[in-house]
């Protein structure tokens, strides 16, 4: 007997939607956009669309609940990033620690491209849930954060709900095919764990893209990287 991670997740989502209804959809989207635990909206919205096609849900209420849940979950994650800004440099495990210079880099990025980043990331599966944390840490203006969240979320939400409406009776086949994502999902989790472990051990420096810790160290003033100082 085998257990499918994706299949079990889909079973849980369908149970919530068929049992609780529209409030359940709102709650699932809040959790999905908060990102903890990771529940992909790509598994929620198509089934909501199937229930619209089935006559169980109203399309209008599905879109309202999904977008409201997206905003609430995103602002909750934003608030965590904002609240932890002054604390995040004080905690860490081993060599895995964020420093003030890392936060300054995030601030500069969001000052230049914050709106575009928030809008575009809402169109990227899985990752769409996690852009809110650095946006809060960078203290992005809250109203603009909400506006660009909606600008990215509306087409994505409508597309996934519409896909579920089109699939209709083929939903069971789709959920079967989604079970093949188990192996890539486990591989992604394994890579994430390895990446964090290497940072804790001091092999990699915090941040992205991955860099060796010694390459990320600032060079002494007046000394070119990779060259020994005069007199040695």
What are the Cα distances from residue 28, in Å, to 60, 219, 222, 225? 17, 48, 54, 50
Domain range summary for the chain, segments of one domain joined by +: 5-180
DSSP classification of residue 218: P
Distance CA 122, CA 148 (A): 9
Burial 176-187 (b: 16+ CB within 10 A, else e): eebbebbeeeee
Cα torsion 211, 213, 215, 218 to 10°: value is 120
Is-contact 2 44, C-beta < 8 A?
no
For 75-87, what is each residue's pLDDT tens digit? Answer: 999 999 888 877 7
What per-residue confidence (pLDDT) applies to 114?
Answer: 84
Consecutive 10-residue runs of the chain (232 residues): their mean pLDDT?
A: 60 92 97 88 90 93 97 95 75 60 80 89 87 89 94 95 83 60 63 69 68 62 48 45
What per-residue confidence (pLDDT) applies to 184?
Answer: 63
**Which pTM does this prediction carry?**
0.73
What per-residue confidence (pLDDT) applies to 224?
Answer: 46
Structure tokens at 55: 């006559």
Distance CA 232, CA 225 (A): 15
CB atoms within 10 A of CB 202: 13
Pairing of strands 92-93, 96-97: antiparallel
What are the start-end ranges of the H helices in 54-181? 59-83, 100-121, 132-137, 142-167, 171-178
What per-residue confidence (pLDDT) applies to 8?
Answer: 76
- In degrees and rounded to multiples of 5, residue 55 shows phi and psi of 90, 5
Helix, strand and coil content of the chain, in percent to the nearest 5, comes to: 70, 5, 25
Cis ω on the peptide bond leading into residue 14 (within 30° of 0)?
no
**Closest to 29 measured CA to CA, from 69, 85, 72:** 69
Distance CA 100, CA 109 (A): 14
């Amino acid at each position: 007997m085998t257990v499918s991670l994706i299949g079990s997740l889909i079973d849980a989502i369908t149970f919530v939607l068929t049992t609780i209804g529209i409030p359940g959809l709102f709650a699932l989207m809040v959790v999905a956009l908060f990102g903890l635990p990771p529940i992909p909206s790509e598994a929620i919205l198509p089934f909501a669309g199937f229930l619209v096609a089935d006559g169980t849900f109203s399309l209008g209420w599905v879109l309202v609940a999904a977008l409201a849940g997206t905003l609430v979950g995103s602002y909750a994650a934003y608030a965590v990033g904002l609240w932890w800004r002054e604390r995040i440099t004080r905690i860490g495990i081993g060599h895995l620690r964020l420093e003030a210079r890392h936060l300054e880099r995030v601030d500069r990025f969001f000052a230049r491209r914050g709106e575009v980043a928030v809008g575009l990331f809402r169109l990227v599966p899985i990752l769409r849930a996690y852009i809110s944390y650095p946006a809060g840490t960078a203290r992005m203006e809250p109203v603009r954060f909400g506006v660009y969240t909606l600008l990215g979320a509306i087409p994505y939400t409508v597309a996934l709900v519409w896909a579920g409406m089109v699939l209709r009776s083929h939903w069971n086949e789709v959920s079967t095919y989604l079970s093949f994502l188990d192996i890539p999902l486990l591989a992604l989790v394994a890579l994430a764990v390895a990446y964090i472990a290497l940072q804790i051990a001091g092999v990699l420096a915090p941040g992205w893209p991955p860099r060796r810790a010694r390459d990320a160290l600032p060079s002494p003033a007046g000394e070119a990287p990779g060259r020994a100082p005069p007199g040695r």
